[in-house]
Amino acid sequence: MSIRTGNLINFNATTTLNLAVQRMAIQISHTSSMFNSATEVSMKLSIFILTLCVGSALLYTSAIIAQDPSSSMAADKNFVMLADEGNSAEIAASQMALKKSKNPEVKTYAQQMIDDHTKLRSDMAPFASKMNVTTPQPVNETHRAEAKRLAALSGKQFDMEYIKAMDQDHHKTLGLFQNEESTTSNQDLKAAVQQGEQVVKQHTDMADQMAQKMSIPVTTMPGQ
């Protein structure tokens, strides 16, 4: 997060805190005139002091977070690594589909996955280079197990397992892109993520449609 953004957060927090203090002061004044009990006035004064202390603590915390971009940079790097690992898995599984499947629709989908995920990797390459992320990333344990299952199948069973895997993986990848778009403070990366998200959304919709044709339960994720 930039210092400029941090200053804006500090300004907003300060404004909110000032308004809270003014309102509480007015409330205390009204309370003093309405109640004769010193205990009730004292209680209102205690709440006022507590509000001031909590507000000051929140303001200080916001300032620290706003001026420390390291957590955001680490999250961006983690996204680039996960996105590239996803590219590796999608490309490898789709290359297998081209060799094993006899279904023209499956083969067409697989070829598009190879082409599009290769381009996604290329589009993210400048960010991977800046963040010292090695590409291509090796597939993780989950995707290795997935590849092993696919390698043992053939015919219609292979097609169904491949499309099921593509549907599940793309819903997860779509969520990954959506989260990065909403959280990153790197505007250049955000623009690339938005473009990539459109491609992943297209892949996800295609996988959903093919899964429905094959009577495979469609993956659902919150917010999609």
The answer, as to whether pTM is greater than 0.95, is: no
Q: Is the pLDDT higher at 82 or at 33?
A: 82
| pLDDT tens string 155-193 | 999 999 999 999 999 999 999 999 999 999 999 999 999
Task: Give the pLDDT confidence of 206-221 residue by residue, as tens digits.
Answer: 999 999 999 998 877 7
Fold of 71-213: Ferritin (1.20.1260)
Per-residue pLDDT tens digits for 22-72: 554 444 444 444 434 444 444 444 444 444 444 444 344 344 444 456 788
Non-local (6+) Cβ contacts of 211 within 8 A are 163, 164, 167, 217, 218, 219
Tokens of residue 128, six digits: 């991977």
Domain spans of the chain, in order of start: 3-66, 71-213
